[in-house]
């Protein structure tokens, strides 16, 4: 046994790394677009809208607090919890922690807008 393998939690780290890699491969298989590095092209893509993976962090009153996983950490969007739950065919109480697909659009006039909510495809 190596010195690293003998550290407390080393086995858990290996399991976490395996899960992380499997999850990254699953998400990559969705083939979702990435924003281009060119600012003008990225702005055009945002204005047109593109599919993203989003996660409901919590439900507060009638609002689902949603994070887009490809955006800067900490940027959250408020979405009507009833609308999101209906689109995903779940009870609003089941939304917290749920990941799903959404269409993300952003223009100077509208700011960021999420719509077109749907479940992530089932994987094997």
Rounded mean pLDDT of 63-78? 81
From its phi and psi, is residue 80 left (phi > 0), alpha (psi between -120 and 50) or beta? beta
What is the pTM for the complete model shown? 0.75
List the one residue out of 72, 70, 79 whose CA is nearest residue 51: 70
Strand order in the sheet with 99-107: 76-80, 63-68, 50-60, 99-107, 111-119
Q: What is the per-residue pLDDT across 32-53, written as a single tens digit (0 to 9) for each? A: 888 888 999 989 999 999 998 8
- How far apart are the C-alpha atoms of 26 and 99, rounded to whole Å? 13
Query: pLDDT-based confidence at 10, cuts 50/70/90?
Result: low
């Amino acid at each position: 046994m190596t010195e690293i393998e003998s550290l407390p939690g080393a086995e858990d780290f290996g399991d976490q790394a395996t899960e992380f890699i499997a999850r990254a491969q699953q998400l990559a298989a969705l083939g979702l677009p990435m924003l281009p590095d060119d600012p003008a092209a990225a702005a055009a893509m945002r204005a047109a809208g593109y599919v993203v993976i989003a996660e409901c962090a919590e439900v507060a009153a009638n609002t689902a607090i949603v994070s887009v996983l490809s955006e800067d950490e900490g940027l959250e969007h408020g979405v009507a919890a009833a609308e999101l739950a209906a689109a995903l065919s779940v009870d609003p109480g089941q939304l917290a922690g749920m990941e799903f697909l959404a269409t993300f659009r952003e223009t100077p006039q509208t700011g960021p807008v999420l719509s077109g909510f749907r479940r992530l495809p089932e994987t094997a």
